Amino acid sequence: MEVKCRRLEGKVAVVTASTQGIGLAIAERLGLEGAAVVISSRKQKNVDEAVEGLKAKGITVVGGRLPRLRRPAAQEPHRHGRQEALPRTRKDEFIVGKALALTDAALNENFGHIDILVSNAAANPTVDDILATKESDAAPYLRKGSSVIIISSITGYNPEQGLAMYGVTKTALFGLTKALAREMGPNTRVNCIAPGFVSYTVC
C-alpha cells in the first residue's frame, strides 16, 4: 500500500491488541501516514512478527507484550470469594490507564507522549487492575489535541444470535465514548468506530 499523505509526522499512536486483524491494519495505516506506532499483544511471538512486518514497510514501531498487572494491596477478595467493588473512578482512567499499562516502558524509553490512542482490545481479564490506575500517572502522556478512538462493533447495534453478551459490551462502548468525550474534551477528542465482521486468523 502506497500512502503519499504524511499528515501524522511527529505523532505517536498507541494501538492496543494490534498484532493481528483490525488492530494491525489500523497500526499499519497510522504508521504509513507518518506516526510512530506502539503496538501490543499478550503473546511475544505475535509482537515480534508484527514489529518485523511493520518495520519492513518503513514504519517506526515499538512493540510490547501485555503485562499481567498486580492488584493493589488494599483491594482484598471478598470473604465469599467475590471481588470487592473498586472505589469510584473517572471513566477516562479506563482508557488512558489502559494505554499506560500496555505501553509504559515503550513510551518512557522511546516517545514519552501519546497523540493517538486506539482502544481495540475486545476483552481484558485485568480490567479491575486497569481501573485502579491513578489518573495522575496516565494524564501526562496525552497531549493537547490528542485523539482517542474506541473500537466497538456492528454487533453493538444488531447482535447476532448467540452473541448477546458480546453485543451488550459493544453497546456499552457507545455510552462510554459519549461520556469520555465530555470528560476529556476539549483537549482530547473521543470517537467510536463500529466495524463489521472481519475474517482473519487468530493465533
Left if phi > 0, otherwise alpha if psi is -120 to 50, otherwise beta: which for 58?
Answer: left
The active-site residue out of 141, 157, 166, 200 is 166
- β-bridge mates for residue 62, sequence order: 38
CB 130 within 8 A of CB 138: no
The count of other CB atoms within 10 Å of the CB of residue 172 is: 12
Active site residue 166: yes
Specify the amino acid at residue 84.
E
Q: Residue 86 region, left (φ>0) first, then alpha (ψ -120 to 50), else beta? A: beta
Report how far residue 22's alpha carbon sits from residue 170's, in angstroms, rounded to the nearest whole number: 16
81-94: burial string, b at 16+ Cβ within 10 Å, e else? eeeeeeeeeebbbb
What are the helix and strand counts (H, E) for the chain? Answer: 6, 6
Count of residues making up the chain: 203
Distance of alpha carbon 108 from alpha carbon 72, whole angstroms = 22
For the annotated catalytic residues, the residue numbers are 166
